[in-house]
């Protein structure tokens, strides 16, 4: 099996690569590339993302044909794709970080700034928070409700259809922190930095 981590200059993806390699061992081949043919031929795709919504979308668009290839993979061919952090946020129709920016539009919704209640909550939301699993998700197999995951973000994904939400976390309000829509998965938290429990999420995705 081939799992491709999309390398589109979205910032630091070393930790994502290390964690997937740790889980995959020698059983699964982990590719790190933006090569369109390699993405097309892989079994699963991971879309990481760090920095702002706008910078990640811009970086995706900079690579000719990448967005179309990813859409074909996830939407037309319905193969498993996992978005992490801004990788998840980009599923939305639109994001408001820096400036209004069009997203991939795979899961209807918007990405807006977390309401910090006039400074009552510090932003970014950094650290370990518990997830509240609201629907069964294949990537949460063997993961207990209220498990701790590592977060670092200031913006949240607000999907239109709440049925896609698989987990929320409480910070100022109930923030969507995981979605599952058919073959498309996303986590706002960083499974690659969430210790053994995070590696379990990665393992679940690899074993889908």
- The footprint of another protein (CB under 8 A) covers 11-12, 14-15, 18-19, 21-22, 50-52, 55, 116, 119, 122-130, 148, 150-154, 170-171, 192-196, 198-199
Q: Could you tell me which residues come within 8 angstroms of residue 204 by beta carbon, excluding any fewer than 6 positions away?
A: 138, 139, 140, 141, 142, 143
Of 85, 125, 177, 180, which is the active-site residue?
85
Specify whether 190 is catalytic.
yes
Of 120 and 136, CB closest to another protein: 120
Token digits for 55? Answer: 């910078």
Phi, psi of 34 (to 5 degrees): -120, 15
Helix H or strand E segment including 153 = strand 148-153
Among 13, 85, 6, CA closest to 52: 85
What are the backbone dihedrals phi and psi of residue 156, each rounded to the nearest 5 degrees, phi first?
Answer: -130, 150
Q: Which is nearer to another protein, 38 or 193 (CB)?
A: 193
The torsion of the CA quartet 104, 58, 159, 183, rounded to 10 degrees, works out to: 50
85 is an active site residue: yes
Closest CB to another protein among residues 34, 129: 129
C-alpha 142/C-alpha 72 separation (Å) is 31
CB of 195 to another protein, least distance (A): 5
Nearest residue (CB) to another protein, 97 versus 180: 97
CB 163 to another protein: min, Å: 26
Residue among 45, 42, 39, 51 at smallest CA distance from 20: 45
Question: Is 148 a known active-site residue?
Answer: no
Q: Which residue's CB is nearer to another protein, number 100 or number 195?
A: 195
Burial of 78 (0-12, 13-18, 19+ CB in 10 A): exposed
- The residues that are catalytic are 85, 190, 192
């Amino acid at each position: 099996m081939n799992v491709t981590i999309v390398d589109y200059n979205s910032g630091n993806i070393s930790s994502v690569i290390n964690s997937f390699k740790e889980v995959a061992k020698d059983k699964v081949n982990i590719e790190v590339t933006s090569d369109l043919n390699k993405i097309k031929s892989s079994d699963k795709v991971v879309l990481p993302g760090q920095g702002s919504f706008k910078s990640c979308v811009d970086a995706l668009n900079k690579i000719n044909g990448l967005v179309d290839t990813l859409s074909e993979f996830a939407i037309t061919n319905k193969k498993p794709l996992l978005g992490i952090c801004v990788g998840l946020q980009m599923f939305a129709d639109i994001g408001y970080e820096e400036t209004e920016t069009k997203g991939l539009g795979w899961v209807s919704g918007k990405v807006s700034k977390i309401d910090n209640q006039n400074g009552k909550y510090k932003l970014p939301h950094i650290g370990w928070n518990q997830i509240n699993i609201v629907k069964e998700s294949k990537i949460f197999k063997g993961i207990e409700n209220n498990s701790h995951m590592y977060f670092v973000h200031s913006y949240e994904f607000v999907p239109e259809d709440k049925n896609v939400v698989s987990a929320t976390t409480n910070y100022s309000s109930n923030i969507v922190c995981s979605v599952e829509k058919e073959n498309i998965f996303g986590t706002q938290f960083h499974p690659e930095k969430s210790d053994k429990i995070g590696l379990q999420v990665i393992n679940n995705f690899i074993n889908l």
